[in-house]
Amino acid sequence: MSMLKEIQKSLFKKKATVLYPFKEREKVHIPEGFRGKIVFDRDKCTSCLLCARFCPSGACEIVTDEKGKRPIFHLELCLFCSQCQEVCPKGAINLTEEFELAAFDRKAFTIR
**Contact residues for another protein (CB under 8 A)?**
1-4, 6-7, 10-11, 13, 15-17, 19, 22, 29, 31-35, 53-57, 79-83, 86, 95
Among residues 34 and 109, whose Cβ is nearest to another protein?
34
The 3-state DSSP class for residue 44 equals: coil
Among residues 50 and 111, whose Cβ is nearest to another protein?
50
Q: Are 45 and 92 in contact (CB under 8 A)?
A: yes
User: C-beta of 10: minimal distance to another protein in Å?
Assistant: 4
User: C-beta of 30: minimal distance to another protein in Å?
Assistant: 8
Report the alpha-carbon distance of residue 71 to residue 90 in Å, rounded.
14
By CB atoms closer than 10 A (0-12, 13-18, 19+), residue 29 is: exposed
User: C-beta of 105: minimal distance to another protein in Å?
Assistant: 26
Spatial CB neighbours of 93, under 8 Å, sequence gap ≥ 6: 38, 39, 40, 41, 51, 71, 84, 85
- 42: left (phi > 0), else alpha (psi -120 to 50), else beta? alpha
User: C-beta of 62: minimal distance to another protein in Å?
Assistant: 16
Among residues 31 and 68, whose Cβ is nearest to another protein?
31
Among residues 18 and 65, whose Cβ is nearest to another protein?
18
